[in-house]
Each structure stands twice: as C-alpha cells, then as structure tokens.
C-alpha cells in the first residue's frame, strides 16, 4: 500500500491583470526560473518514472515465449490480461477488499479523530501516539508479526481456543484470509489516516462551534454537522489514496503468502500476479501488460469515485 | 534549538555512514566479489561468485578457499529454493546480475537451460568429475554430451516416523499406501495425532508420489526444445491426488504448509506421526530445533510406502547441483569451482554426518563410514544402509519440464484447494493439466 | 482545547467527566488492540526458539528471560550483519530522505510561486503518477539499472527513492499558503535574486512542511521492501527490512546452519522499529503540525 499524504485544496489566486511588454519579459524570465526550480524533480521524474514506464510500455507490446523468440504483438498481452481469469479474479478481489476495508478504516479513523479532538486528557494523547505507532513499523515487519500471532500452533489465538478445546481458525487460509488481511491493513494504516483527520480537525477555528454550542447542540451534533463537513476535503483525499493503495495491494499478501497454507495464491491480487509473472516465471512482457492493465483499472475506479463524489479535479488547482 | 537539531542530524548521518562502511568489506574495483559472506583466503587469486543455500555452506566454502591458491569462492546465500530462483530468474532475464556459479535443484535445470542461462561445462573440463558419480546421477545433469551442472546431493525419499506414537497406538511402519491409510484411521480412532501432512507448498513431493504410481508428468528432450509432453491428469496422477484428498477429507493428515515455524513446531510437538520426505530432511529438521527436546531420539526412518509392495518404485525429492551461468566472467575457473566445491572429503563428511545432504559422490556412497553410520537423529538407526542407499540405487530418474516453476505454482494452488475441501483430487489434476497445457502452448511449445 | 474554552461551571464539569468515560473506554479498547503485536514482540524477544514455540503462552514471558542473550546473539550472528543492515537502512533513509526532500522543496516552491506554460499539465502528470502500480516500476527499473551496472549497489536503492511526488504536492500546497507573494516581491524589489529570495525568505517559512516531508520520505525509504529486494542480491547491502525477510525465509529450513533464526527475527524486528519510533516521538511537534498543512479552507 502506498502512503497517503496530507491534504489540502489550494486557495484560488487573484485574476490576472493585462501586462506591459517589460512585465511580460520579466514574466518570461520568471517562468524560466520556475522551470529551473522544478528541474531537479523533473530529471528524477523522467529518469525513474517516465523512462521505466515507457520501457515497460514497450515491453508490454511484445510477447516472448520460452520456445519462441520475442515478437511484436500489438495489444495481444492486454487482450490476454483482460481475459485472464487470474487477473480478473485478482481485480475482483481488490475491488471487494476496497469496498469492505475502506469504510471500516475510514469509520475507525474518523471516529478516533473526533474523539481525540474532543478530549484533552493525558490518556488521549497517549492513545493518539499508540494508534499512530503502526505507521512507523515497516509493513514487512508488521506482516511477520501478524504471521506469528495468527499461528494456530503457538499464536495466542491458538492458545485461546485451546483452552476451550477447540481448533483455532487459521486467519490466513482460504476461508479466513479476507478478514485476516483486513485486520493487518487496518492495524497498519488506520492510525495514519486518523492523524491526518485529527490534524485537520485541530486546524478548525474553535469559535465556529461556539455558536452551535450556545444554540444547544450536543457534542455529537457538533461533530457530525460541523466538524465532519469541515474536514470533508481531507476525508476525500484520504479516500482516494486509500483506494489507490488498496487496488495495488501487494506487500502484506506477498510477505504472508509463504505461511498462508495456500490461502494466498500467487495471483491473489493483480500486483502480486504481475510480480510473480515477472520475477518467478520471467514473463516480463506479460507482467508489464498486467501492471498497465491494473493501472487502467485504478484510473477508472478513481475516476468513478471522484465522479460519484463530484469532486473531479478539486485537488488539481 | 536549531543548533541542537543540526548536531543531531550530522551525528545521525555520521553514524549511518560509519555503520554502512563496515559493510564495505573486501573486494573493491572488481565487479565480482563485493561482499562475500565468507573470508577470501588468497587475496591475489581471481574470485568466483557462488549462490547456494546448503546449511553448512560456510564450512564448505572455507574448505574450498583454504585448499585452492588459483581461485577463491565468494559465497552469498540469497535465499532457499524459490527465493534464489526468483533472483536468478530476474538476473537471467535482465542479462546482468547473476553469479558465476549457482546452486540449482535437479528439477530446475531444464527451466534455465532452455533460456540459455547455463554453460555446457563439458567444454571447460567438467567431465573430469564424471567418474565420481553414478550413471543415473550424471544423466540428470546432462543432455547428450552436454553437461549443465555438477551434482552434489540427491533426495531419495522415505518415511520418517515417530517411534513413540507408533508404539503408543501399536502400529508398525506401513509398507503400502493402503496400510498407511488404515494405520492413519486406527490412530485417529484411538484419539491420536494426525498421521501426516499434505503441505500445499511442496508440490515436488506430490509430483514424486504421482510418479511413484506410474505417472509421467512430462516428456521433454532438450535437443528438441520445441516439443514437450504434458500429462498431468492421467489415472495415476488422479489416483494419488484423490488418495491424499481423501486423507485430508477424513482428517487423517494435516494441511499445514511445510518449511514453516508452524510445521516445525508441530513436528516437535508430536502433531504428526509421519513425515514423507527425503534423505536430507533430518538435517533440516534438527537444525530447525527438531529432535533436541522431549522428542529426542523419537524419530526413525522406514522405506516409502508403495502402491504395489511386490513391485516397489523409488522416487526423489530435491537434491541439488552447481551450475555455471552464461554470465560467468571466467567460465573455466567457474567450472573448476562448480566441480570442486562441496567435493572435498571434509565438506562431504560434514554434510552427510549432519544429514544436510545425501551425497551422490560414489567415493562417499560406497565408504564404510557412510554405509554403516549410526545416525543420532534416528536414535542410532543405520538409515543409510537400510533405507536411503537402496532407495537411491533404485531411483531411475525423472524428466522435468522447462517450465517447472510454473507447473509447481499451479499444482500448489490446486493442492491448496484440495486442502480447503473445495476441489477433489481428480478435479485438481484436470485443472493443473489445463493451465499448464495452455501455458506451454502460449510459450510456443508443441504440446503432445 | 475546545472543551476548555467553554466556560466551566462545576456541575457541568462533573457531567462532562462522566460523559468522558465512554470515549475513554473506546480509546482504551483501541489502545489494547493496537498494542497487541508490539506487546507480543516485546514479550517474545525474550524467548529462545523453544520458548517461542513451546506452549507456555504467547502473550506472557517464558520461564527463562533471555533478552540480553538474544540481543547479543542478534548483533554477533553472521559477523554482526544485523548492524550492517541497520546502518544500510539509516544510510538509505537519510540520503534518500534528504535528497528527495530537497528536490521536493524546490519543485513545490516552483509550482506554487511561478506561473509558466505547462505548469498545470506537469502538476497533473505528477499527481497521476500516484496511480502507477509499484510492479510496473520495479520491473523496468530493475532492467534499466542492470544495464547501467547499478543493480546491487547502494544507488539502486537511493536513486529511485528520490522520486517523491507526494512531497512535491505537500510543499506546493504549503508554499502556496505560507509564503506570501508580497514578501517575495519585496525581496525582489530589494534586489535579491530568485534563489536568494527562496533561500532566505521562503525556506524559513516552509520549515514545518520541510520537516514533515523529510520525516515521511525517510519513513518511506526505511520501510521500503520490494525495491531493494528486487535490486540487491548482496546481503551486505540489504536494508534491515530485506534482511529480516531473508532470515524469515531461511529460518524454517535450517539455513542458519544449525542456528535457529526465529528468536533473532523477533528481536531484530523489535530493534529495527526503535529508531523510527524515537524519530516520531521526538519530532512530534513538527510532523503533527505539518500534517495539517492546508487541510482546511
């Protein structure tokens, strides 16, 4: 999963006034300087994003078989991807997973942020840090830890069920892996989202709710009617990044796969499928096509989402 | 405040740099030996890089380097099995980044040979060690006159079992799979532990067991690299999968993935009465902590159960060889390493005494010490003489496909479904056949 | 904050404390949940393999507490390779973090304070790049780096981590809000060049955002797993995440050469998260402020 940044919608700028020719020259010069500021990033962007992507795009247009050579194949790999049951199943999984995970995660982080915003006790400050803590733990290490905790033989769950003489469910096998992963991801990321929402809440001018208080609104009403709408921009952007991250779900299933008793297959998520196809089966061409196909899916999902919330382009200034 | 922050930042950078600098180690300009896990004894000699995961590799490499003035080995463990193959496969595809010499299991040779990743070492004097191996062992690493690796160890299969559990439930080692099932039922009815385990992540075991019943998964001749025969859903393959599917369904065997902490702790705790495995397994088990506590001396080995006791078939799981990669800078020196590493007496002895390898070197296989060794893990049982050497001698060799990694992944996925109860063994066999056949055609093979 | 600002009368305050029990309970439950894995890790880092897998209870200490022994084992195993891994992680995080932050600050300022043709298009491209799947980049980057003989070097990890579109986005938003155009114009009128204006006027104003972006990008590099996994095969260059991953894969197959790696994995995980936790705790003031960057309006 990728991390989401903090949020904002930049302020609108003042309308332009017609300029004189010297002003125009000065502006051209300043434009050049603007490019100069952006140049280092531009170079990095071109070298480590555009170039690899262009290369991968090129790769994805060829096919290479073990028994044949490399052939130019136009979009054959894409046609194959969008008819490949492994890929489609993976897409189906991440979409379903997003639909379940994101509401849970959002509700939890928004709830905690609202509670924390209303409390000032030392315990509240402590909780804030603890809930945020998993963000500082590498996803690999989080996954290794949960792998131990899920163990039916020596994990706490196994011992708990052992007390009542039952066999504990293994939260990574085919029947439970969905819930098992929801738990890992929620644990890892909810705190981060919470902190962003919390920071946004803290940024609200308290005098805004004074009026509502005086009108006799309860804290619940203040929270739902005033606070939540005021941080809706933050929420929206978190949602978009959570959506993108979840559709590209990769690290946790990849780390937990070897101990999942087959619950996590190599084509479990599209990203994992692309990775396996490339690095285990050496099908770099087809793997690139899968990655791009996933990119298309992500783009469509995000667009649908933004369309549904009518916030298209709100975070492009 | 500001000053403090700067001091903190500077010292953090300094610490990071100095820590990372320790890792710099030997080597220098040469692109080959940057960071070896081992020490280079003869600093002036050229270096050959090696990837391998034998548990006693550190000693093996030291033995080699101490005994060679003309060449030194720089060894890295990039992971066991699949982890190493992923790295190697990536390096092959990229055309850069592979070591000079790589450890490969016999079933993966064709996979890389077809990609032109392996050197025919017979051109560089590799045949000089041919005399040390049986004809069968040498055949496994060669195609016609071309030789693609130097064999080190084999994996004749047998059944490891718990003496305490067998004694408690009054059973003797089953000699047929029918008896295996009956005994499993008997132990279960008496409230005993699971009889065995069908880990989905060891598809190579399933393949071996299918071959034992007469299956011929692949026909492939690397001299005709465009043709491959795929037969994964014949009656023998289906029968074996159905047999194990039945054991799982009746809860006679577990469904735990192997090579995991859960499995090991299960073995230690007596959760499984038997472990269908190969000659190298005891070393892996004992290194992971098995046979050291209350389970000490409780293990024994018996021949693998048969489908037809009057007509026994011997099969193999694992066993590796050293191959020279086409990316090797000096192929002659690399061949010297591939054929000389883990070939000296001290290394081989360390390997077999700790049971991390079942050596294929005839000098060891025929030596008194090896044949009559009383193995501590098995409470002094002479397993080499009684079980593993006969099994190895009766092993006739398998034919592997040039897309073995893909096949194993498909078989693993279907085994997981069988274990989850969502598919029967026959259905699994049919599904594997379908996906592997499709894949082979997609790769441009003529599939028969 | 807000509760304190309401005028407090005694009966009302009592009612409020009562009402606060429920939210505190809610938080308490969550704290327990979020601490479970950490608790497990702390407890189990004191155990040897037998204690780890033995039945004494996963959430409490085994009979003998072997914390120091494990710690010593961790730092001496395989010639102290764990320490190298920690050092590598720190090196990658610091160089990658500082580099990417510097680049992001410049670019963010450029986007926020200069108007030029193609600005919006470039910025949209930048934001769109977030949607690129990880594997789509790792695969071709690996091949490109291999051709440049950069795989298996520290640059294979550091260079790609310089790319930080989020950072640019944050810096742009923050610079747009926190650096008034009038101040820049005043500096220019005084004859300061564009770069001096940036360094002396804008940069100090952007400091909270710089710290936040620095911290976030350092965490991202420290936590990175699949890029170094694909790029490096020399385990002397591994960051600690990949190193622990390697141990994890070797542990169950006795590839420690008779040395059980399980205890090392647990205590190694614990030790590896300490630096980041310290960084977050000590810089709390900065990043919590930084995260609220322009999150309203």
Give me the total of CB pairs closer than 8 Å, taking one residue from chain B and one from chain C.
Answer: 140
Question: Which chain A residues contact residue C169 at CB under 8 A?
Answer: 5
Q: What is the pLDDT of residue A317?
A: 38
The better pLDDT of the pair B335, B398 is held by: B335
- B146 and B246 part of one domain: no
Q: Which CATH number covers residue B346?
A: 3.40.190.10
Q: What is the pLDDT of residue B37?
A: 80
Nearest to A66 among B82, B114, B255 (CB): B114
- B90 and B139 part of one domain: yes
- B325 and B307 part of one domain: no
Residue A314 has pLDDT above 60, yes or no: no
Confidence band for A20, pLDDT divided at 50, 70 and 90: confident
> Does some domain include residue B3?
no
| SS3 (DSSP) at A72 | strand
Q: What is the pLDDT of residue A117?
A: 87
Residue C205 has pLDDT above 80, yes or no: yes
The first and second tokens of residue C73, run together, are 């084992």
Q: Which of residues 123-152 of C touch B (CB under 8 A)?
A: 142-143, 146-147, 149, 151-152
Q: What is the pLDDT of residue C254?
A: 57
Residue B113 has pLDDT above 80, yes or no: yes
Work out the number of other CB atoms within 10 angstroms of the CB of residue A276: 25
- B32 and B147 part of one domain: yes
| Residue B346 CB burial class (10 angstroms; 0-12, 13-18, ≥19) | middle
> Does some domain include residue B228?
no
Q: What is the pLDDT of residue A199?
A: 83
Question: Which chain C residues contact residue B264 at CB under 8 A?
Answer: 53, 252
- B65 and B113 part of one domain: yes
Confidence band for B269, pLDDT divided at 50, 70 and 90: confident
pLDDT digits (tens, 9 = 90+) for A207-264: 877 777 777 777 778 888 888 888 887 888 788 888 988 998 988 898 888 888 888 8
Q: Are A294 and A270 in contact (CB under 8 A)?
A: yes
A touches which chains (3+ CB pairs under 8 A)?
A: B, C
What percentage of residues in chain C have a pLDDT greater than 90?
21
> Does some domain include residue B288?
yes
Question: Which chain A residues contact residue B406 at CB under 8 A?
Answer: 280-281
Report chain B's mean pLDDT, rounded to a whole number. Answer: 87
Q: What is the pLDDT of residue A29?
A: 79
Q: What are the residue boundaries of the structural domains of chain C, listed by start? A: 2-44, 68-291
- B264 and B396 part of one domain: yes
Q: What is the pLDDT of residue C11?
A: 46
Q: Poorest-confidence range of B141-150, C168-177, C282-291? A: C282-291
pLDDT digits (tens, 9 = 90+) for B303-320: 999 999 999 999 999 889
Backbone angles phi, psi at B73, to 5 degrees: -100, 135
Helices marked H in chain C — which ranges?
A: 2-5, 10-44, 49-53, 67-113, 119-128, 134-147, 155-161, 165-178, 181-189, 194-196, 203-205, 207-223, 226-231, 240-251, 262-282, 284-291
Pairing of strands B157-162, B299-303: antiparallel
> Does some domain include residue B349?
yes
Confidence band for C227, pLDDT divided at 50, 70 and 90: confident
Please give the CATH number for the structural domain made up of C68-291.
1.10.3720.10
| pTM strictly above 0.90 | no
Residue B52 has pLDDT above 70, yes or no: yes
Confidence band for A310, pLDDT divided at 50, 70 and 90: low
Q: Could you tell me the end-to-end alpha-carbon distance of chain A, in angstroms, rounded to an integer?
A: 26
- B252 and B119 part of one domain: no
Pairing of strands B101-105, B47-51: parallel
Domain span at B50: 28-151+320-356
The first and second tokens of residue A291, run together, are 């990655």
What was the ipTM of the complex prediction? 0.82
Min Cα–Cα distance to chain B from A221, Å: 42
Residue B298: closest CA among B306, B286, B284, B310: B286
- B328 and B307 part of one domain: no
- B146 and B171 part of one domain: no
pLDDT digits (tens, 9 = 90+) for B71-87: 999 998 888 888 899 88
Please give the CATH number for the structural domain made up of A84-308.
1.10.3720.10
Residue C6 has pLDDT above 70, yes or no: no
**Domain count across chain B:** 2
Residue C61 has pLDDT above 80, yes or no: no
Q: With an 8 Å Cβ cutoff, is A300 touching chain C?
A: no
């Amino acid at each position: 999963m990728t991390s989401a940044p903090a949020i904002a919608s930049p302020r609108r700028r003042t309308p332009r006034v017609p300029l004189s020719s010297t002003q125009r020259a000065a502006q051209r010069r300043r434009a050049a300087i603007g490019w100069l500021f952006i140049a280092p990033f531009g170079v990095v962007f071109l070298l480590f994003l555009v170039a690899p992507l262009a290369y991968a795009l090129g790769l994805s247009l060829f096919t290479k078989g073990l028994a044949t050579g490399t052939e130019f194949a136009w979009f054959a790999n894409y046609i194959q991807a969008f008819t490949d049951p492994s890929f489609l199943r993976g897409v189906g999984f991440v979409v379903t997973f997003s639909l379940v995970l994101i509401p849970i995660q959002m509700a939890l982080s928004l709830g905690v942020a609202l509670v924390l915003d209303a409390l000032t006790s030392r315990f509240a400050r402590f909780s804030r840090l603890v809930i945020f803590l998993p963000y500082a733990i590498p996803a690999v290490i989080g996954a290794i830890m949960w792998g131990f905790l899920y163990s039916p033989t020596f994990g706490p769950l196994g011992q708990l069920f052992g007390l009542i003489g039952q066999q504990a469910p293994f939260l990574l096998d085919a029947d439970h892996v969905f819930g098992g992963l929801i738990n890992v991801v929620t644990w890892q990321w909810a705190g981060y989202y919470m902190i962003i929402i919390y920071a946004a809440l803290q940024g609200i001018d308290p005098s805004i709710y004074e009026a509502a208080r005086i009108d006799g609104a309860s804290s619940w009403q203040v929270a739902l009617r005033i606070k939540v709408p005021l941080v809706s921009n933050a929420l929206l952007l978190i949602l978009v990044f959570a959506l993108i991250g979840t559709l590209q779900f990769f690290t946790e299933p990849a780390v937990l796969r070897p101990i999942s008793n087959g619950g996590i297959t190599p084509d479990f998520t599209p990203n994992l499928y692309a990775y396996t196809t490339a690095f285990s089966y050496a099908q770099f061409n087809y793997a690139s096509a899968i990655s791009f196909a996933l990119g298309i899916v992500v783009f469509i999902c995000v667009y649908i989402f933004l369309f549904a919330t009518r916030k298209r382009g709100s975070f492009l200034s | 405040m500001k000053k403090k922050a700067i001091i903190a930042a500077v010292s953090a950078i300094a610490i990071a740099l100095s820590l990372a600098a320790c890792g710099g180690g030997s080597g220098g300009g040469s692109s080959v030996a940057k960071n070896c896990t081992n020490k280079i004894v003869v600093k002036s000699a050229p270096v050959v890089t090696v990837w391998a995961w034998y548990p006693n590799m550190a000693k093996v490499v030291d033995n080699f380097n101490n005994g060679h003035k003309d060449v030194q080995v720089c060894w890295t463990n990039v992971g066991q099995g699949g982890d190493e193959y992923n790295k190697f496969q990536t390096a092959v595809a990229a055309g850069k980044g592979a070591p000079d010499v790589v450890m490969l299991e016999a079933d993966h040779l064709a996979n890389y040979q077809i990609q032109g990743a392996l050197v025919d070492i017979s051109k560089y004097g590799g045949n000089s060690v041919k005399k040390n191996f049986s004809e069968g062992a040498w055949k496994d690493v060669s195609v016609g006159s071309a030789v693609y690796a130097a064999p080190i160890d084999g994996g004749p299969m047998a059944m490891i079992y718990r003496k305490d559990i067998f004694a408690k439930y009054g059973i003797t080692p089953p000699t047929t799979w029918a008896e295996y099932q009956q005994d499993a039922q008997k132990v279960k009815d008496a409230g005993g532990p699971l009889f065995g385990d069908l880990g989905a992540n060891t598809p190579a075991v399933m393949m071996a067991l299918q071959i034992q019943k007469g299956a011929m998964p692949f026909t492939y001749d690397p001299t005709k690299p465009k043709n491959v025969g795929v037969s994964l859903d014949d009656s023998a393959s289906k029968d074996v999968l159905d047999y194990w599917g039945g054991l799982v369904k009746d809860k006679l065997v577990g469904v735990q993935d192997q090579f995991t902490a859960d499995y090991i702790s299960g073995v230690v705790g007596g959760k499984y009465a038997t472990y269908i495995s190969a000659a190298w397994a005891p070393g892996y088990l004992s290194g992971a902590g098995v046979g050291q506590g209350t389970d000490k001396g409780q293990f024994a080995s018996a021949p693998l159960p048969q489908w037809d006791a009057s007509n026994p078939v011997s099969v193999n799981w694992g066993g590796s060889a050293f191959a020279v990669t086409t990316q090797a800078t000096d192929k002659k020196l690399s061949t010297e390493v591939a054929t000389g590493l883990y070939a000296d007496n001290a290394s081989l002895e360390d390997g077999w005494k700790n049971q991390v390898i079942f050596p294929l070197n005839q000098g060891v296989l025929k030596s008194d010490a090896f044949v009559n060794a009383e193995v501590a893990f098995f409470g002094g049982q002479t397993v080499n003489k009684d079980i593993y050497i006969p099994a190895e001698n009766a092993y006739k060799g398998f034919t592997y496909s040039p897309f073995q990694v893909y096949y194993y992944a498909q078989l693993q996925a279907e085994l997981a479904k069988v274990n989850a109860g969502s598919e029967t063994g026959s259905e699994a066999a049919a599904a594997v056949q379908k996906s592997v056949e499709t894949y082979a055609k997609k790769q441009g093979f003529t599939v028969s | 904050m807000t509760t304190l600002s309401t005028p407090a009368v005694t009966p009302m305050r009592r009612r409020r404390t009562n009402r606060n029990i429920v939210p505190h309970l809610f938080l308490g439950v969550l704290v327990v949940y979020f601490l479970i894995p950490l608790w497990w890790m702390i407890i189990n880092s004191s155990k040897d393999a037998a204690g780890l897998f033995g039945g004494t209870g996963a959430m409490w200490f085994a009979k003998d507490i072997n914390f120091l022994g494990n710690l010593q084992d961790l730092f001496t195993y395989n010639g102290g390779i764990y320490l190298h891994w920690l050092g590598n992680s720190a090196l990658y995080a610091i160089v990658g973090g500082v580099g990417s932050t510097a680049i992001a600050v410049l670019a963010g300022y450029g986007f926020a304070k200069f108007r030029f043709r193609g600005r919006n298009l470039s910025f949209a491209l930048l934001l769109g790049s977030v949607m690129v799947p990880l594997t789509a980049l790792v695969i071709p980057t690996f091949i490109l780096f291999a051709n440049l003989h950069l795989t298996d070097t520290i640059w294979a990890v550091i260079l790609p981590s310089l790319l930080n579109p989020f950072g640019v986005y944050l810096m742009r938003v923050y610079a747009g809000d926190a650096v008034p155009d009038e101040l820049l114009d005043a500096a220019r009128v005084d004859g300061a060049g564009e770069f001096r204006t940036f360094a002396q006027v804008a940069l100090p104003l952007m400091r909270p955002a710089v710290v936040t972006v620095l911290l976030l990008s350092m965490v991202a590099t420290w936590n990175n797993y699949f890029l170094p996994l694909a790029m490096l095969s020399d385990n002397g260059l591994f960051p600690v995440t990949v190193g622990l991953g390697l141990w994890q894969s070797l542990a169950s197959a006795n590839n420690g050469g008779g040395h059980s790696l399980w205890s090392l994995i647990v205590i190694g995980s614990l030790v590896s998260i300490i630096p980041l936790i310290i960084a977050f705790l000590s810089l709390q003031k900065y990043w919590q402020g930084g995260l609220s960057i322009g999150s309203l309006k």
